[in-house]
């Protein structure tokens, strides 16, 4: 896992984008890049690292919830395709749910 930009700094990961009616996602979001393409399934290790990292980010910022985690393809459709159809959103969300439930039961 590599970090290129401090989470409090603005990065240009999304480019021109919109989320829930708000334009320019780079101004208010955290970008996470996964190595891969639209057609190759992601690995178990990628899902584990992504869910662990997402859990840490959600713990630091209460406004970031599983429902607000989305792909570049959703915020910049027609221009970006990642994480693509090979990404298993139900699997990822299930891992987040387990982690979120574990955290709230602690």
**Superfamily classification of domain 18-104:** Peptidoglycan recognition protein-like (3.40.80.10)
d(CA 34, CA 17): 19
**Where do the domains of the chain lie?**
18-104
Question: What pLDDT was estimated at residue 13?
Answer: 86
Give the residue carrying structure tokens 């984008």.
Answer: 17
Tell me which DSSP letter residue 67 carries.
G
Question: What pLDDT was estimated at residue 1?
Answer: 81
Tens of pLDDT along the chain (106 residues)?
889 999 999 998 899 999 999 999 999 999 999 999 999 999 999 999 999 999 999 999 999 999 999 999 999 999 999 999 999 999 999 999 765 565 556 5
Question: What pLDDT was estimated at residue 104?
Answer: 59
Q: Which positions are annotated as active-site residues? A: 33
Confirm whether pTM is higher than 0.75: yes
Q: List C-alpha distances in Å: 10 to 4, 29, 102.
A: 11, 8, 31
């Amino acid at each position: 896992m590599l970090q290129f930009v401090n989470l409090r700094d603005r990065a240009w990961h999304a480019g021109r984008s919109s989320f829930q009616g708000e334009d320019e996602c780079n101004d208010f979001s955290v970008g996470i890049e996964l190595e891969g393409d639209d057609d190759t399934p992601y690995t178990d290790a990628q899902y584990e690292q992504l869910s662990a990292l997402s859990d840490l980010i959600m713990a630091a910022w209460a406004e970031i919830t599983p429902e607000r985690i989305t792909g570049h393809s959703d915020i910049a459709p027609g221009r970006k395709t990642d994480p693509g159809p090979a990404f298993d959103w139900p699997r990822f969300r299930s891992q987040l749910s387990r982690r979120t439930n574990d955290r709230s039961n602690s």
